């Protein structure tokens, strides 16, 4: 086989995903996954590597948002959004069996034969179900050490028949989990709008137009698989990026991997039992006119343990325009962002390799 033919064959193998490569028994990281030295996780480019630095995020007690001490918790929520852009949510009331079933069925999906998983390897980013690898396998110059299953959860009756039918209990497990996370998102959104001074839950007569807009928005479940990596210092599970939506609710397993950029350094988020990690997305930064900012985060990989995480991404309906709230614009805080929508975001990601907060940067007014 010629060198060109050999390279083409290797490229086809990489497109099948990291799990496929690991199943073939690779002992080292292929060159396609090796980051430039300055982008490798321990290089310290631009900020401290902080490989030994752990970060305890602010903790928001969801139960207290429903109680008589709500105003104090809303203030804590505002502080967490302003200072970290991330927080841990405890006492969230998702039944333990719903979470355990979701994690279990996710692991079993990635254990299916490649031929079964590959049925959902579609290039259309608008697809209701998509199995893939890296960040954007069509554009990434260097692949990251991650496979994923993306499932649109809006509207369930329309998308459910398109979801994988194997494992046979996957659909029901995702329905149960997505219904719970959607409820949490709606309750958190109300509290966040309250923290911005846009709604008043104590005054039923005050118009809460913004809240209505958020009620039936887009919802995507992304199940991430980060297989054990033979040379974890050469690659990343996910490169530095911000999430594009309003809020992301992340379920982590017990294996550390998530890092966020905080105070000029990368710091590892300690998994907190029975909690969800919640972070602000680009759309909320735009909507809040920069009061709350999305934060760069990345994922490390482990030399001996595979890792599963489940992200529940929420935003406005796909066809809605995302723009700064007029109530948050004045002479002291003029408008900082252009209007945007999901079509603009998808076109941007389809046309170029995503870099950090590059999409959000493209929406800023100079």
> Do residues 291 and 328 lie in contact, with contact meaning Cβ atoms separated by under 8 Å?
yes
- Asked if 150 and 245 touch (Cβ cutoff 8 Å), the reply is no
Question: What percent of the chain is predicted at pLDDT more than 70?
Answer: 90
Q: What is the DSSP letter of 118?
A: G
Q: What is the mean pLDDT of residues 76-104?
A: 97
Question: What is the token pair recorded at 153?
Answer: 């959860």
Of 57-61, 215-219, 320-324, least confident by mean pLDDT is 215-219
Confidence (pLDDT) at 5: 47
- Least trusted range by pLDDT, from 4-13, 225-234, 339-348: 4-13
Closest alpha carbon to 241 in 355, 149, 87, 134: 355
**pLDDT of the residue at 201:** 66
Residue 208 near residue 199, CB atoms below 8 Å: yes
Nearest one of 163, 183, 187 to 174, comparing CA atoms: 163
pLDDT, greater one: 215 or 158 = 158
Q: For the purposes of burial, counting CB atoms within 10 Å of the CB of 243, is it exposed (0-12), middle (13-18) or buried (19 or more)?
A: buried
**Which domains can be identified in the chain, with CATH numbers?**
33-362 (2.60.120.330)
Tell whether the model's pLDDT for residue 92 goes beyond 70.
Answer: yes
Residue of 326 and 210 predicted with greater confidence:
326
Q: What angle do CA 229, 137, 323 make, to 5 degrees?
A: 115
Structure tokens at 32: 């396609």
Quote the mean pLDDT of the chain: 89
**pLDDT above 90 (res 360):** no
Q: Which residue has the higher pLDDT, 228 or 212?
A: 228
Q: Which residues, at least 6 apart from 94, have a Cβ–Cβ distance to it below 8 Å?
A: 177, 180, 181, 184, 276
Q: Does pLDDT of 242 surpass 80?
A: yes
Q: What's the confidence (pLDDT) of residue 211?
A: 72
Residue partners of 16: CB distance under 8 A and separation at least 6? 114, 118, 121, 133
């Amino acid at each position: 086989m010629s060198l060109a033919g050999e390279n083409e064959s290797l490229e086809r193998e990489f497109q099948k995903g990291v799990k496929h490569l690991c199943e073939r028994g690779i002992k080292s990281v292929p060159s396609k996954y090796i980051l430039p030295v300055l982008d490798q996780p321990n290089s310290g480019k631009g900020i401290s590597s902080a490989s030994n630095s752990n970060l305890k995020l602010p903790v928001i007690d969801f139960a207290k948002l429903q109680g008589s001490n709500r105003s104090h918790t809303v203030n804590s929520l505002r502080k967490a959004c302003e200072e970290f852009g991330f927080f841990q949510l405890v006492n969230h009331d998702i039944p333990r069996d719903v979470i355990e079933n979701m994690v279990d069925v996710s692991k079993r999906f990635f254990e299916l034969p490649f031929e079964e998983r590959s049925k959902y390897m579609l290039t259309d980013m608008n697809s209701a179900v998509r199995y893939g690898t890296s960040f954007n396998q069509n554009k990434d110059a260097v692949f990251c050490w991650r496979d994923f299953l993306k499932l649109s959860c809006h509207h369930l009756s329309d998308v459910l028949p398109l979801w994988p039918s194997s494992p046979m209990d996957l659909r029901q497990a995702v329905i149960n989990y997505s219904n719970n996370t959607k409820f949490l998102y709606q309750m958190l959104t109300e509290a966040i709008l309250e923290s911005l001074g846009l709604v008043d839950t104590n005054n039923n007569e005050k118009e809460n137009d913004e809240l209505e807009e958020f009620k039936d928005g887009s919802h995507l479940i992304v199940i991430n698989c980060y297989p054990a990596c033979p040379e974890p210092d050469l690659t990343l599970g996910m490169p530095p990026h911000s999430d594009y939506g309003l809020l992301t609710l992340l379920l982590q397993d017990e294996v550390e991997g998530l890092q966020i950029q905080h105070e000029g350094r990368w710091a590892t988020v300690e998994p907190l039992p029975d909690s969800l990690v919640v972070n602000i997305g680009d759309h909320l930064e735009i909507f809040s006119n920069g009061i709350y900012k999305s934060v760069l985060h990345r994922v490390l990989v482990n030399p001996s343990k595979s890792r599963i995480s489940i992200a529940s991404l929420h935003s406005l309906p796909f066809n809605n325009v995302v723009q700064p709230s007029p109530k948050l614009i004045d002479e002291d805080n003029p408008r900082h962002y252009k209007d945007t929508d999901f079509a603009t975001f998808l076109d941007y990601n389809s046309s170029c390799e995503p870099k950090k907060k590059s999409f959000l940067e493209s929406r800023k007014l100079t």
